[in-house]
Amino acid sequence: MAASDNQWESQSSQLYQQIFQKIKQHPQRRITFAEFMEAALYDPTFGYYATRARLIGQTGDFFTAPHLAADFGELLAEQFVQMWSILGRPASFTLIEMGAGQGLLAGDILRYLLDRYPEFCQCLDYQIVERSQVLVALQQQHLRPFESYIQLCWSDLTTIPTDAITGCFFSNELVDAFPVHRVRFSQGQLWEVYVTTADPDGRSSRPEVLFREVEDGLSTPDLGRYFADVNVHFTTPPYPEGYTTEVNLRAIAWLEQVARCLHQGFVLTIDYGYPAERYYHPARSEGTLQCYYRHRAHGNPYLHLGQQDITAHVDFTTLEQKGSACGLQLLGRVPQSLFLMALGLGDRIAALSQSESRDRQEIQAILRRREALHSLVNSLGMGNFWVMLQGKALPYPLPTLKGLESPDSTTPL
Ligand SMILES: C[S@@+](CC[C@H](N)C(=O)[O-])C[C@H]1O[C@@H](n2cnc3c(N)ncnc32)[C@H](O)[C@@H]1O
């Protein structure tokens, strides 16, 4: 076994000890799945985002759009410049990137803006909200070259004053990384899924075989209300016995916080998901929970404790409903493929095809780039992600956002 495998195994056991203690201290000896996922992903020492997140990409467990090509960030930058224009080119425009991973997307955006839009850069205040301290360190290292040219800082959503921000809050694959509650429909009733352990003394070296799921009453009435709000009733039509799904209450709290901080501007959210009626369709009987370990996707969150990513799809209906309840008007949502095409990805692909280079290495680089650009819009992958745009206190009449200028922008999810 490689040294690093030993190290990771030891980190897993230490995380297991912590979760075991939490379970043991609880009067009913169980924690919600959301608490389990919180520890597995975000324990500051042994959680996934402390241990392996620095490896996201080829050498890690999954990759995201910025790992494919800088074009993703560059096209987003085009959208931000138009937003600035729509707001009347204010002297201070803030971009807040939430969940910035290794800082790649920020780097691509800033490099392009400095090169093409120096005037915008003079007004730009770029802030990052990041939960993982390991990733903050990587971001700071990656973005150091920009510090002399752009106002750049790291902030915390909870400390941004109410109505302080004119600009745009944005995220790529943030919401799917929030801890979710799991619920199960059984014997005509909705139960919450809790995590317990069959281990009497917490000494096991194989936590994955000892975690057990138990069902009990809902930990919060918000879970029941959630389904009423999206018009999902498990008895009509009858859902299959054992139907299991997830609820992302954290996403609601997050969006409310963003809406509170936004004085005027936009919220741009990119992620994979469905509207509630598809998310909670009776046929999706095992929910959408997915784990990623060394580029393999599977459905067992108790394996590779603290060493694998755990995600759940995003319910966009809830983000739209709760957004409008807290003052965020839905401007549109489109598949990522159409969003990027509307911003010029098609022209970039076409330009690549017109290259007349005869140099072997150059041709190979062009082919690689073309493949990467196609991956961004592939309808079986990232092209099928959703881009949701919301806004607050925007001028009227509002010009169409460039990324929404596609014939399909009103297509229901
Ligand atoms: C799947 S990664 C996506 C990273 C990056 N956006 C990208 O496209 O490569 C999720 C990111 O969200 C961060 N994150 C998760 N919960 C967060 C929260 N509540 N506040 C800020 N960042 C958070 C993670 O640490 C990580 O940087």
What is the domain-level CATH number for residue 325? 3.40.50.12710
Q: Indicate whether 265 and 135 sit together in one domain.
A: yes
Residue 66 in contact with ligand 1 by CB distance below 6 A: yes
131 lines ligand 1 (CB under 6 A): yes
Distance 221 CA to ligand 1 centre (A): 28
336 lines ligand 1 (CB under 6 A): no
Choice among 219-223, 239-243, 351-355, 393-397 with the minimum mean pLDDT: 351-355
- Does residue 201 surpass a pLDDT of 80? no
Q: Is the CB of 64 under 6 A from ligand 1?
A: yes
The pLDDT-based confidence of 205 (bands split at 50, 70, 90) is low
Ligand 1 centre from 310 Cα, in Å?
Answer: 12
Do residues 257 and 396 both lie within one domain? yes
Of 156, 174, 257, 375, the residue with max ligand 1 atoms within 8 A of its CB, to mutate for a pocket test, comes to 174
Whether 408 maps to a domain, the answer reads no
Closest CA to 310 of 55, 20, 34, 17: 34
The answer to whether residue 115 is domain-embedded is yes
What average pLDDT does the segment 313-328 reach? 98
**Structural domain tally of the chain?**
2
Provide the pLDDT for residue 3. Answer: 45
Looking from the CA of residue 176, the nearest atom of ligand 1 is 1
Q: Which residues contact 197 (CB under 8 A, 6 or more apart)?
A: 19, 20, 23, 207, 210, 211, 212
Atom 13 in ligand 1: which residue has the minimum CA distance?
Answer: 99
Average pLDDT on 184-199 reads 94
Largest CA distance in the chain: 71
- Output the CA 224–ligand 1 centroid distance in Å: 28
Neighbouring C-beta atoms of residue 102, cutoff 10 Å: 22
Distance from the alpha carbon of residue 41 to the mean position of ligand 1, in angstroms: 11
List Cβ neighbours of 88 (8 Å cut-off, separation of 6 or more).
395
Domain span at 393: 65-177+253-272+315-403
Cα 94 → chain centroid: 20
238 shares a domain with 189: yes
Q: In terms of domains, do 106 and 153 share one?
A: yes
* Residue 233 belongs to a domain: yes
pTM, two decimal places: 0.95
Q: Report whether pLDDT(2) > 80.
A: no
Instruction: Please give the mean pLDDT across all residues of the chain.
Output: 93
d(C-alpha 142, C-alpha 362), whole Å: 26
Ligand 1, atom nearest to 65 Cα: 8
- Percent of the chain whose predicted confidence (pLDDT) is above 90: 83
Residue 132 is assigned to a structural domain of this protein: yes
pLDDT tens for each residue of 270-310: 999 999 999 999 999 999 999 999 999 999 999 999 999 99
Domain assignment present for residue 398? The answer is yes
Q: Are residues 319 and 212 in the same domain?
A: no
On whether both 139 and 260 belong to a single domain, the answer is yes
Does 56 reside within a domain? Answer: no
Q: For a pocket test of ligand 1, which of 58, 131, 171 has the largest count of ligand atoms closer than 8 A to its C-beta?
A: 131
pLDDT band, residue 413 (cuts 50/70/90): very low
CB atoms under 10 Å from CB of 282, counted, come to: 13
Is the Cβ atom of 331 under 6 angstroms away from ligand 1? Answer: no
pLDDT at 189 over 70: yes
101 lines ligand 1 (CB under 6 A): yes
CB-based contact 132:49 (threshold 8 Å): yes
Are both 83 and 149 inside the same structural domain?
Answer: yes
**Protein residue with its CA nearest to atom 25 in ligand 1:** 132
Q: pLDDT (tens digit, 9 = 90+) per residue, 82-108?
A: 999 999 999 999 999 999 999 999 999
Q: Is residue 224 assigned to a domain?
A: yes
Using the mean position of ligand 1's atoms as its centre, give its distance from the Cα of residue 130 in Å.
6
Ligand 1 atom closest to residue 172's alpha carbon, by position in its atom list: 6
Contacts 24+ apart (CB under 8 A), 199-208: 199/20, 202/16, 202/17, 202/20, 202/21, 202/24, 204/16, 205/9, 205/13, 207/12, 207/13, 207/16, 207/19, 207/302, 207/305, 208/300, 208/302, 208/303, 208/304, 208/305
In 200-336, beta strands by DSSP E = 211-216, 243-247, 262-271, 273-274, 290-293, 296-298, 309-311, 314-315, 329-335
Quick one: 237 and 146 in the same domain? no
Q: What is the CA radius of gyration of the chain?
A: 22
The protein residue whose alpha carbon is closest to atom 10 in ligand 1 is 174
Residue 194 CB less than 6 A away from ligand 1: no
pLDDT: is 91 or 60 the higher one?
91
**pLDDT at position 1:** 41
- Report whether residue 103 contacts ligand 1, using a CB cutoff of 6 Å: no
* Pair (266, 365) in one structural domain: yes
Instruction: Based on the fold, state whether residues 129 and 97 are members of the same structural domain.
Output: yes
User: Poorest-confidence range of 251-255, 289-293, 325-329, 405-409?
Assistant: 405-409
Q: Is 177 in the pocket of ligand 1 (CB under 6 A)?
A: yes
The H or E element containing residue 225 is helix 221-229
Given the CA of residue 104, which atom of ligand 1 is nearest to it? Answer: 9
110 and 138 both lie in a single domain: yes
Highest mean pLDDT (candidates 36-45, 206-215, 372-381)? 36-45
From its phi and psi, is residue 295 left (phi > 0), alpha (psi between -120 and 50) or beta? left
Using pLDDT thresholds of 50, 70 and 90, give the confidence band for residue 360: confident
